[in-house]
A and B are shown apart, each in its own frame.
Chain A
Amino acid sequence: MSSLELYPQDEKLPRGEHVAFNLYMITALLLFVLMMLLGLTMRMTQADWTPVQAAMFYKIMTMHGAGMVGAMSLASIAVMWFFLRKYVSLHLWAFVSNYVLFMLGALCIIWAVFVGDFASAWTFLYPLPVHSMGLWSNGAAAVFMVGYLLIGVGMLLFYLDAAAAIIQRYGNLGRGLGLQWLFGGAIDPTHPKAVVASTMVIIANSLGILAGAVVLVMCLINVYDPEIALNALVAKNLIYWFGHMIINATIYMGVIAVYELLPRYTGKPYGVSRPFLWSWAASTVFVIIVFPHHLLMDYAEPRWMLVMGQIISYAAGFPVFLVTAYGVLTNIHRSGLRWTMPSMLAVLALFGWAAGIVPAIIDGTIGVNRVMHNTQWVPGHFHFYLLLGVLPMVLTLLYHVVGSRRRAPVNSGTDRAGLLLYVVGGISFCMVFLYAGHMSVARRFSTHLPEWLPYDRAGSIAAMVLILGMLVFATRIIVGLLKAPVDADAAHPAG
């Protein structure tokens, strides 16, 4: 169980770890801001407010998707690492290697998009990368895929190091998940939630990355030897197994910050329980097999897989609603919670996850997907739980860490104003997407029909408000992270 002390000694970062953590988080924050600006450019293009041509729009779309998923992964891995290292022995070289490979991969992707003109979307569907109609070369497609492979290898290295560390400490991954207590026995209340969540992510996301590696290598072979053709449906299954898992994993890594930090601000213990362990055990399975809900329009897919996609989408809501969100609400209820930036962001994060999953589950229904698929309903729900769920989880940790530096107050008027802008802009931005989706506005269109423009304009204005809030966060946190670390005990007493 995590400590109730606000800044326990075992979270202090030695110099090497401190530099690595700052590199991860500052890179991720800059990426978030840049990718948000690209997102705003897309919305403004659809709103007919910027003169961006279709070729550039789809390059921006490809970069925005790949960049946001990359930034979310980078930041949430840093969250997992920050807490997991307290309980098991992680190697700094693995953490740093992931960063280096991520940066190399990012450079490949940036080159492929902005020099090689690659514009096939981040979840490119085979055989699109080699059917550009002359707009990008096969070489650009290959460099983009090599970029993904480099990032995947880095993440896998980190997960393997974490898996080895958990096995070394707990005996096997099942004991890391707490499976030995599912059906009985006295649960060790000190078993860390961070270890349970990390183990789940390691199991699920390693499989997803391996699936991604398989399809990437197959596509790379196809780029240079078109005679070796792939089955488009098999390729799509692998792409979405990988794509869904890698973005889903960010929320399961990010939530560790809420588990670890929120009880310190409420002052109420928040130990593991049997429902909690059941929830994570079930989620481990659900996350691996839920991806067919991306293929509900592929009627050639075996019927049982489509049914599974719907049923598991429903079932996946149970752990979120009944254990994590409910657990957080009971932890803050009548607690005397101290409302500071980390605690406000933690509560926002759980709200964003729980509320954002509602339209996602509904879209997982085959009958609904038949009219909602690939409308703006889809970016509506994933922006909801990424912008108002995962990102606030990362910001929870970052505001907490910055708060341990004496000269960076974490609850200033500027911070609160930033949060207000972020929440109002974020909710409005996502609800406009959802509203437009229910009105059948297509996603991934560079040019919109005249009747769709009001939604695009409202979405653009909301995005501007959101980005203003994000700029406040990014500035405050980057300045705070760059200040020399000082002993926090005098400024922030425990409790």
Chain B
Amino acid sequence: MIFQNVIWAITLTGMGLVTLGFIYAIAQAGRPADTAEAERAHRTSISLRRVLFAALLLLGIGIAWASLRPFPIPAQHAPLQAAQVVDVVGHQWTWDVSQTHLTAGEPVEFRVTAGDVNHGFAIYAPDGRIVIQTQAMPGFTNKILYTFRTPGTYKIMCLEYCGVAHNGMTAELDVAARGDKS
């Protein structure tokens, strides 16, 4: 399953629930309640808000816990011990990539920095989706640990605006299947 599609479905669900809440209130807005009905609605709304508060709190804590364990960013000050290591330096407007031939199924450590200004190092899969990215910042090295699952030609694009040739700042990575020497 493509991760971005899951995010899209969750987003549409969340926005849809907000929309339903508004549609319900708008549909009821034109029918004024009498005093007793208004009092009942007020008590219901307070109870409902408490339920919503508890539900959102549990949801927030649950998602935060699940999404941060394990922490999605690899340790930056410890050796990652990947089988493949690629040093990447971004310049206006080229990528200096130490190794462009990689093997699928084996972890790759990308050490990303910049020689002049900020750049964004994003790897696009052959299907056109981003698989991973990080910032390329002068004076700092950001480390990514990624294992390519499928062979193919992956594209590097700059996703941090870095001047007028920003969108032309691309490079390619050839990812071969394990055991494929071609």
**A130 CA to B68 CA, complexed, in Å:** 37
* Residue A317 lies at the interface, judged by CB distance under 8 Å to chain B: yes
Docked-complex contact A439 and B117, CB < 8 angstroms = no
* Residue A321 lies at the interface, judged by CB distance under 8 Å to chain B: yes
* Residue A334 lies at the interface, judged by CB distance under 8 Å to chain B: yes
* Residue A248 lies at the interface, judged by CB distance under 8 Å to chain B: no
**A264 CA to B165 CA, complexed, in Å:** 53
Given known contacts A332-B26, A358-B18, A374 and B11 CB-to-CB distance under 8 angstroms:
no
Q: Within the complex, which residue of A297, A336, A367, A373 is in contact with B67, where a contact is CB–CB below 8 Å?
A: A367
Bin chain B's interface residue count: 35 or more
Could you tell me which B residues sit within 8 Å of A by CB distance?
A: 3-5, 7-8, 10-11, 14-15, 18-19, 21-22, 25-26, 28-33, 37-38, 41-42, 45, 49, 52-53, 56-57, 60, 63-64, 67-68, 71-74, 76, 92, 116-118, 120, 122, 124, 128-135, 137-143, 157, 159-168
Given known contacts A54-B167, A311-B64, A362-B10, A298 and B117 CB-to-CB distance under 8 angstroms:
no
Docked-complex contact A371 and B130, CB < 8 angstroms = yes
Counting from the closest, the 7 A-B pairs by CB-CB distance are A336-B32, A334-B33, A445-B167, A374-B159, A358-B14, A329-B25, A297-B135
Given known contacts A131-B92, A297-B133, A371-B131, A321 and B56 CB-to-CB distance under 8 angstroms:
yes
Give 11 CB contacts A-B under 8 Å.
Answer: A54-B164, A61-B161, A297-B120, A298-B140, A299-B73, A333-B28, A354-B18, A371-B3, A438-B11, A447-B168, A451-B128
Given known contacts A358-B15, A362-B11, A374-B160, A232 and B25 CB-to-CB distance under 8 angstroms:
no
Given known contacts A125-B160, A334-B29, A347-B22, A322 and B67 CB-to-CB distance under 8 angstroms:
no
Given known contacts A303-B71, A439-B4, A332 and B29 CB-to-CB distance under 8 angstroms:
yes
Q: Within the complex, which residue of A311, A334, A374 is in contact with B32, where a contact is CB–CB below 8 Å?
A: A334
Count A interface residues, CB 8 Å: 77
* Residue A127 lies at the interface, judged by CB distance under 8 Å to chain B: yes
**A350 CA to B22 CA, complexed, in Å:** 9
CB neighbours (8 Å) of B25 from chain A are 329-330, 332-333
CB neighbours (8 Å) of A434 from chain B are 8, 11
* Residue A222 lies at the interface, judged by CB distance under 8 Å to chain B: no
CB neighbours (8 Å) of A121 from chain B are 161
Min CB–CB distance A368 → chain B (angstroms): 6
CB neighbours (8 Å) of A451 from chain B are 128
Min CB–CB distance B120 → chain A (angstroms): 5
- In the complex, besides A58-B163, A440-B129, A440-B130, 8 extra interface pairs with C-beta distance below 8 angstroms are A232-B118, A232-B138, A303-B73, A322-B52, A326-B49, A337-B30, A371-B129, A372-B130
